[in-house]
Amino acid sequence: MRLPIKIFILYFLLVFGYVVAEGKCNPESVKAKDIMACIHMSHSIIDGMLNDRYSVILKKENFPYGSTLKEGERLWMAYRDSKCKYIYESIYPGMEAEVERESCLLSLTYSRLLELIYIESSVRDTSLERLLMRTEWRERYDSLDAGTMGVEESAYFMKNCELVGALYGESKENCMKRMWVQNL
């Protein structure tokens, strides 16, 4: 595992462990308010890490794609808000609606953080590649239809794939599929 990923994991474990130890989150509880407290705490940590990575990348003097990254970030926020609102509205007035919406925000924020780590360092999560080494999963992956995306999702993915294509030469098709799976 490369150094940036190791640092990220260590930082997350230290911060998460400290907050849980302080009693602000009870991961054993099944009460909605306790679940929400844990989700909020986790989201706050991941969102802070996301904002830090975003700022670090933009401040790099040798990073020539600042405007593309900014546009991609705006598109990601529109995608995140749209997808999580849809999830909330499809469950409301069910008791789980708020938990599902907040879980969606956490999940998509984490996915964006992983993407920014990739953009910054060319280190990406290789679990998808390892999974695709198995024939049955490769066939399913190859049959994915990225054309079924929503407008916000497609706009964000296209802009991000433009950026990683320019940085690392990843094909648009592979990038779109990778991001689609990463953001499920």
Q: What whole-number distance in Å separates Cα of residue 74 and Cα of residue 137?
A: 32
Would you say residue 19 has pLDDT above 50? Answer: no
Model pTM? 0.76
What is the per-residue pLDDT across 118-141, written as a single tens digit (0 to 9) for each?
898 876 655 556 666 666 666 666
pLDDT of residue 140: 63
pLDDT of residue 21 exceeding 50? no
pLDDT in tens, 41-81: 999 999 999 999 999 999 998 899 999 999 999 999 999 99
The Cα-based distances of 43 to 94, 119, 171 in angstroms read 22, 21, 31
Give the C-alpha separation, 76 to 103, whole Å. Answer: 16
Q: How far is it, in rounded angstroms, from Cα 100 to Cα 84? A: 8
